[in-house]
Amino acid sequence: MSETATQAESPTYKRVLLKVSGEALLGGREYGLDNATVKAIAEDVRDTVALGVQVCLVIGGGNIFRGVAGASAGMERAQADYMGMLATVMNALAMQNALERMGVQTRVQSAIEMSSICEPYIRRRAIRHMEKGRVVIFAAGTGNPFFTTDTAAALRAVEMGCEALLKGTQVDGIYSADPRKNPSAEFYTRLTYLEVLARDLQVMDAAAISVARENGLPIIVFNIHEPGAFREVMLGHGRFTTVKDD
């Protein structure tokens, strides 16, 4: 293989965090996990790791329980958020199972200690796992109520020294409106952090955007359901939106 071809297939980033919403695991279901969807995402993670990329993940829990929804139904917000954190642990274990069935060594680290089923979150241990080629899944958010898993993803990405935060969504990037509802919505190839906030594009919450901006962490938004999209984005291919300052 020529040097040019080799360079063309080199990943853009060497260490990244992938944020996947809990809803992304639903598939065609209204609640819970769709095994085929979990497997498809795991395959994409496996193929990305095969490029030599160090990968960690944060998975939301909205397919099982959303703290905000519980609070709006009358629950105490902190209690509802803790329940949501437990939902993220369930999703993390499901993804770990899918990855390890494919031969990918995986560790789950939880911000809330559950020593019988996963490791506690320890920053230096997590970094060492990734250096050894293991995928690390961070569960239970930040371990604190009132913070979303988007914010947890931005925080963990910075703590891990990741070069980018990837947000796998239901569409292929950031639009001026939901393209599934508004076919004329404008697609953005590149935005700054302040543009995302000023236009209220809601791809991630304001706290997550602020953490990324303060630390110069690029956010890349793509369609998690497009087969092989994670790997393709790592190679600079496909359709996606990049959020970073010029």
Contact 38, 95 (CB under 8 A): yes
Q: List the chain domain ranges.
A: 11-243
Sequence-ordered list of residues with C-beta below 8 angstroms from that of 111, at least 6 positions apart, any chain = 85, 121, 138, 139, 140, 141, 142, 143, 144, 152
Residue 71 confidence (pLDDT): 72
Taking the whole predicted model, whether its pTM rises above 0.85 is answered as yes
Summarize pLDDT for 101-140 with one digit per residue, the tens: 999 999 999 999 999 999 999 999 999 999 999 999 999 9
Strands 106-110 and 54-59: unpaired
Residue 8 confidence (pLDDT): 53
Low-confidence ranges of the chain (pLDDT < 50): 1-7
Which residues does the annotation place in the binding site for ATP?
19-22, 62, 66, 169-170, 175, 178
Which residues does the annotation place in the binding site?
19-22, 61-62, 66, 81, 142-149, 169-170, 175, 178
Contact 90, 61 (CB under 8 A): yes
Residue 5 confidence (pLDDT): 40
Both tokens of residue 45?
């993670």
Residue 70 confidence (pLDDT): 72
Topology of domain 11-243, per CATH?
Carbamate kinase (3.40.1160)
Which residues does the annotation place in the binding site for UMP?
61, 81, 142-149
